[in-house]
Amino acid sequence: MRIICPVKRVPDTAAKKAVEPDLTLDRDGVEAVLNANDEWSIEEALRIKERTPGTEVVVLCVGPEQAQQTIRKALSYGLDGAIQVSDPGISGSDASGIASIVAGALADEEFDLVIMGNQSSDARTMLLPAMLAEYLDLPALTYCTKLDIDGDTVRAEREMPGGHQVVEAKLPAVVSVVEAINEPRYPSFKGIMAAKSKPVVVKDLQDVGLDAEMVGLEHAWTQVLEVTPRPPRQAGDKVEDDGSGTVGAKALADFLVARKFL
């Protein structure tokens, strides 16, 4: 079995962000990390590998040369190799553009399963897995909390409002997972050292059958029209009780009633 794990290089969620004049995020002005949601998909791929002898797991990342650091981090978990798509024309691409790039990168690759996180921490569109499946003309099993592989069939439990849904599809397929599916492991020292020498195949837009007029900011299907900084936090109301609890209880009740919680 061969599994592809698409991952994303994202800004550290705790860092202060800046926006460029074209309303894109300044990605060079903040520390970049491996998208946390992708750690669940990597872990699930590794668990399948441990249960299925002969399985190869390959990470795929779309990003600039600096994304090599993110790729090596993914490889340190125990993945076997990597594919990187890097090209100046990619900058500013939206979810549809990135999905078409990933699909192009996989066009000449053999694989049985694509496992990815359900969203990225910088965009949170949650669209890429379904878009990728559409471009590849493959079944999409999204928001998965459990995966089972039986021969050429993948069975999944999907997280839904009010419960779970059990679905299955024939391989190859595209799967996205959510946090509840597992607890990611930490990379070992051996894994970190081994990641430095694992193979990374680098492709550009031409290699994946696209050109700069099909992706990038100018050709994105979506557009950011305005960016507003987060307002500063304001001090809350302080309630001082007389020790009886009555004052505090009444203040809490009044607060809830005013906001129609009661």
Q: Identify the pLDDT of residue 162.
A: 84
Q: How many domains does the chain have?
A: 2
Q: Identify the pLDDT of residue 190.
A: 95
Alpha-carbon distance of 94 to 105, in angstroms, equals 17
Note whether residue 67 is domain-resident. yes
Do 157 and 32 fall into the same domain? yes
Q: Identify the pLDDT of residue 248.
A: 86
- Under a CB-based contact definition with an 8 Å cutoff, are residues 82 and 60 in contact? yes
Q: Identify the pLDDT of residue 74.
A: 97
For the chain, which residues score pLDDT lower than 70? none
Note whether residue 225 is domain-resident. no
CATH assignment at residue 62: 3.40.50.620
The single residue listed with the structure tokens 């099909």 is 214
Q: Structural domain of residue 74, as residue ranges? A: 2-219
- pTM, two decimal places: 0.85
Strand partners, 168: 155
Do 43 and 139 fall into the same domain? yes
pLDDT in tens, 125-146: 899 999 999 999 999 999 999 9
Do 27 and 76 fall into the same domain? yes
Question: For helices 95-106 and 128-136, what crossing angle results, to 10°?
Answer: 40
Alpha-carbon distance of 33 to 25, in angstroms, equals 15
Note whether residue 133 is domain-resident. yes
Do 36 and 162 fall into the same domain? yes
Do 262 and 154 fall into the same domain? no
Note whether residue 53 is domain-resident. yes
Note whether residue 111 is domain-resident. yes
Helix (H) or strand (E) holding 46: helix 36-51
Note whether residue 118 is domain-resident. yes
Note whether residue 224 is domain-resident. no
Do 159 and 245 fall into the same domain? no
Q: How far is CA 16 from CA 26, 31, 35, 124, 229, in A?
A: 10, 10, 17, 18, 11
Do 113 and 144 fall into the same domain? yes
Do 169 and 44 fall into the same domain? yes
Note whether residue 38 is domain-resident. yes
